[in-house]
Amino acid sequence: MSLALRRPKRLSVGSRVAAVSLSWGGAGDASLRWRYEQGKGRLQEVFGLDVVEMPHTLRGTDFVYEHPEARAADLMNAFRDPTIAGIFTCIGGDDSIRLLPHIDFSVITQHPKVLLGYSDTTIAHMMCLKAGVGSFYGPSILAEFAENVQLHNYTERWLRRALFETSPLGDIEAPSVWTSEYVPWHEANKDRQRLMEPHTGYEVLQGHASVQGPLIGGCIEVLEMMKQTPLWPDDSVWDGAILFLETSEDKPAPSLVEFWLRNYGVQGILQRIAGILWGKPYDNKFYEEYKISIRKVLREFSCQQLPVLYNASFGHTAPMVTLPYGALAEIGCEPPRLRILEAGVV
């Protein structure tokens, strides 16, 4: 069964959305302002959204780093503002866990609305989860929406399905191509498209059954930051869930992935969940090694039958699908497939 999360209202042409800097504040740096404006322009032109900045969104890297309380205030006020229908993160980073002491969870509970982002935004998603509100693991303004030349069609299509439509997302096919090529964010490079490679599709690491469960997870490195904090979900949240995990551009060593997964096993989480959805590694680095590590840890905890669907595109590689937290999803092993059986919005 899906989690009993409050679903935000869908977005539509003309919806007002707030841009927020919850982690890294680069959107406000003079050298990157063009990149922010390019992403903002895509939201306005492609999706017809009215994009506004919160008071501290564009204050720049130094201010944003030094003032987590200001970042938290922007988030709280965006939830409170009745004219704002959605909250889109500018970019991820590595320290939005510092917002936690300044968060009023009742504000999120009382004002459910679309929250979108990935990577370090995993922290904000878990804030929404604790508040009982569904959110969306998906594109950021500086990265995906500001993609050189144009927004990827796959990213655009699944964002529309997740945020603008009230029907279940349905079958999520793997994209035909992918990239994580790094092109420096200099304005002189804005007309240079990143090189794409063929996507090899989903891969089943283990398991034979088709399983269903609510989607819970995020960036595996960021999830480590919230263990033993009030954000870490209660045991019951993991029951029957599909745990989605992806690694960042830091490309953590397989040994670290083993350490982290082993903790999930010791907590009993691996034994509670229905399946695992694993994202495509950045640069395909450690593609084979991660598979070995995942199987190794699952074997240690007698979870050899747990279905694991590998090489999904929902995080740090492009293009990406938008995943609605708590929505009922299905992993199929024969053949490999991903299906989202519920809508993310109402």
Q: Are residues 232 and 326 in the same domain?
A: yes
The predicted model scores a pTM of 0.98
> Among residues 132, 167, 202, which one ends one of the domains?
167
Judge if 257 and 188 occupy the same domain. Answer: yes
Q: What is the pLDDT of residue 175?
A: 98
pLDDT tens digits, one per residue of 141-154? 999 999 999 999 99
* CA separation for the pair 23, 43 (Å, rounded): 20
pLDDT at 2 over 80: no
**Is 4 among the domain residues?**
no
Both 324 and 184 in one domain: the answer is: yes
Residue 178: inside a domain: yes
pLDDT digits (tens, 9 = 90+) for 30-64: 999 999 999 999 999 999 999 999 999 999 999 99
Q: For position 3, what pLDDT does the model report?
A: 84
Residue from 119, 115, 127 nearest 93 by CA: 119
Please provide the distance, in angstroms rounded to a whole number, between the alpha carbons at the two ends of the chain: 18
Distance CA 130, CA 216 (A): 12
- pLDDT value of position 166: 98
C-beta separation of 263 from 228 below 8 A: no
> With 70 as the cut, is the pLDDT of residue 93 above it?
yes
CATH number at residue 293: 3.50.30.60
Cα gap 47→155, rounded to integer Å? 12
What CATH number has the domain bearing residue 42? 3.40.50.10740
In this structure, the strands spanning 323-324 and 308-312 are: unpaired
pLDDT at 308 over 70: yes
Indicate if 325 and 263 belong to the same structural domain.
yes
Is 315 found in the same domain as 179?
yes
Looking at residue 209, the DSSP 8-state letter turns out to be S
Residues 55 and 198 in one domain: no
Dihedral angle computed from the Cα positions of residues 26, 113, 83 and 15, in that order, rounded to the nearest 10 degrees: 80
With respect to residue 336, please indicate whether it lies within any of the assigned structural domains.
yes
Query: Across residues 209-233, what is the average pLDDT?
Result: 97
Backbone phi and psi for residue 210, each to the nearest 5 degrees, phi listed first: -95, 125
* pLDDT tops 90 at residue 94: yes
Sign, Cα dihedral of 261, 267, 271, 277? negative
In a domain, 7, yes or no: no
Do 224 and 155 fall within a single domain?
Answer: no
Averaged pLDDT, 178-187:
97
Closest to 54 measured CA to CA, from 13, 98, 22: 22
Looking up tokens 């009382």, which residue turns up? Answer: 110
Inside any domain, residue 234:
yes
Name the residue range of residue 36's domain: 16-167
The Cα 218–Cα 133 span in angstroms is 16
Q: Is residue 1 scored above 60 in pLDDT?
A: no
- CA–CA separation, 56 and 123 (whole Å): 19
Do 33 and 106 lie in a common domain? yes
How far is it, in rounded angstroms, from Cα 273 to Cα 318? 27
- How do residues 281-297 score in pLDDT, each as one tens digit? 999 999 999 999 999 99
Burial class (CB in 10 A: 0-12, 13-18, 19+), 165: middle
The residue from 141, 167, 193 where one domain ends is 167
Give me the number of domains the chain comprises.
2
- Residue 5: inside a domain, yes or no? no
Would you state the pLDDT for residue 272? 98
Q: From CA 78, how far away is CA 86, in angstroms rounded? A: 8
Whose tokens are 């050899």? That residue is: 304
- Whether residues 181 and 319 share a domain: the answer is yes
Asked if the structure places residue 63 within a domain, the reply is yes
> Last residue of a domain, which of 149, 167, 185?
167
d(CA 198, CA 44): 30
254 backbone φψ class: left, alpha, beta (φ>0; ψ -120 to 50):
alpha
Q: Are residues 125 and 228 in the same domain?
A: no
pLDDT given at position 95: 97
pLDDT of residue 250 exceeding 80? yes
Mean pLDDT along residues 84-104:
98
Asked whether the predicted pLDDT for residue 220 surpasses 80, the reply is: yes
193 and 308 fall within a common domain: yes
**Residue 238 pLDDT exceeds 70:** yes
9: in domain = no
Do 141 and 177 fall into the same domain?
Answer: no
